[in-house]
């Protein structure tokens, strides 16, 4: 009789031990798959971030080319804004900006301000033109007006980082 009890005890003990082993293995596999999914998500997200960064860099480079081309075609007569919003200089500048918008469909608007903060040329797709609008109340215009030999303004946060080579 003692032998039979021990035999039945072992019969019950073996499935319990096997279920503990299988349960432990499942927990281990779940933990491994959890860490694997986190690592793969990090890799996917970093890949997406690199693609977005490259696209943004390309867009900023294209904007830089557009701004440089517009800058090369702007004359001091246009910046003086002497003939006002309906003068030939303003019309010529608006035509240049309109050509840029037509060739770069992703642009919604372009404008050129003079050092006094007045738009001397502006073209927008979705709203009226801002030619003649005065934005001189902004800090950088008062700085440029008081420092005649300066052509650029750097805000306090930008001053420290303007020579940084970090990308």
pTM of this prediction?
Answer: 0.51
Local confidence band at 21 (pLDDT 50, 70, 90 cut-offs): very high
Residues 116, 87 share a domain: yes
Residues 79, 68 share a domain: no
Residues 158, 93 share a domain: yes
Q: What is the pLDDT of residues 36-91, one digit of tens each?
A: 988 888 888 888 888 888 888 988 888 888 888 888 887 777 777 777 777 777 78
Q: Which structural domain, as residue segments, surrounds residue 43?
A: 1-73
Sign of CA dihedral 142, 145, 146, 147: positive
Strand partners, 119: 113
Domain tally, the chain: 2
140 versus 19: the higher-pLDDT residue is 19
CA distance 93 to 75: 9
Are 117 and 141 within 8 A, CB to CB?
A: yes
Q: What is the pLDDT of residues 105-138, one digit of tens each?
A: 787 788 887 777 777 777 777 766 677 777 777 7
């Amino acid at each position: 009789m003692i032998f039979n009890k021990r035999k039945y005890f072992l019969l019950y003990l073996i499935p319990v031990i096997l279920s503990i082993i299988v349960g432990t293995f499942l927990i281990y596999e779940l933990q491994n798959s959890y860490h694997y999914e986190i690592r793969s998500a990090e890799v996917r997200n970093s890949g997406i971030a690199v693609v977005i960064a490259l696209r943004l860099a390309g867009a900023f480079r294209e904007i830089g080319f557009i701004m440089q081309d517009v800058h090369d075609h702007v004359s001091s007569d246009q910046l003086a804004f002497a003939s006002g919003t309906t003068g030939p200089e303003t019309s010529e500048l608006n035509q240049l900006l309109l050509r840029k918008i037509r060739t770069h469909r992703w642009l919604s608007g372009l404008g050129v301000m003079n050092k006094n903060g007045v738009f001397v040329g502006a073209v927008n797709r979705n709203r009226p033109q801002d030619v003649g609008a005065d934005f001189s109340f902004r800090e950088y215009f008062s700085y440029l007006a008081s420092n005649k030999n300066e052509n650029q303004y750097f805000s306090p946060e930008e001053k420290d980082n303007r020579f940084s080579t970090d990308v």
